[in-house]
Amino acid sequence: MLEFTTTTNLTELLQILELQQQNLPEKLSEADKKEQGFVTVRHNFELLKKMNDVHPHIIAKSNGNVVGYALSMSIFFRNDIPILIPMFDEIDTTLQGTKPYILMGQICIDKHYRGKGVFRGLYTKMKEEFSGIYDSIITEVDEENTRSMNAHKAIGFKTLKTYRSNNHNWEIIYLDI
């Protein structure tokens, strides 16, 4: 049975980092990256905890273990992850960027739990947590990550802007809360 909740302890943060490590591009074959998707940013424990202290991360648990996560990232961390700075700069140039938003800093689901509603469940929980606080959830997806792009579009994300940075094409997308 799956439980969608927020992080409440350090063990859950460590489990997020472990799941993240398993899904970094250098750990995956080209076929897996294309078929299953990948995560781009590598967080360290200190930053993940600081982000969590502002807004707890959204997690899916099964039998007490984290099997999926959606990182909650306040704009206060905009300069802490260099690869994300261009995204924040691009968001600033849009109407959506003038409204209060929460950034979904990364989403990942254990390969054994994909296709079972975890992705949708994480975003449903995120909307519940931030309803009344923020107007939207914003994230970006590498255009090469077609699985992630298709999953986001399937639950209602809309394109805010596309841009090129770090030799990649990025699509900034948003979901109204």
Q: Could you tell me the pLDDT band of residue 138, with boundaries at 50, 70 and 90?
A: very high
The CATH homologous superfamily to which domain 2-176 belongs is Gcn5-related N-acetyltransferase (GNAT) (3.40.630.30)
The first and second tokens of residue 112, run together, are: 């054994």
Q: Which of 24-28, 128-132, 137-141 bottoms out in mean pLDDT, i.e. has the lowest?
A: 24-28
The first and second tokens of residue 98, run together, are: 């003038």
Q: What is the pLDDT of residues 51-70, one digit of tens each?
A: 999 999 999 999 999 999 99
Helix axes 10-22, 45-54, angle to 10 degrees: 120
pLDDT for position 54: 97
Domain ranges within the chain, ordered by starting residue? 2-176
The first and second tokens of residue 59, run together, are: 């997690």
Q: Tell me: pLDDT of 173 over 90.
A: yes
Q: Are 6 and 56 in contact (CB under 8 A)?
A: yes
Query: What is the β-pairing status of strands 158-165 and 136-142?
Result: unpaired
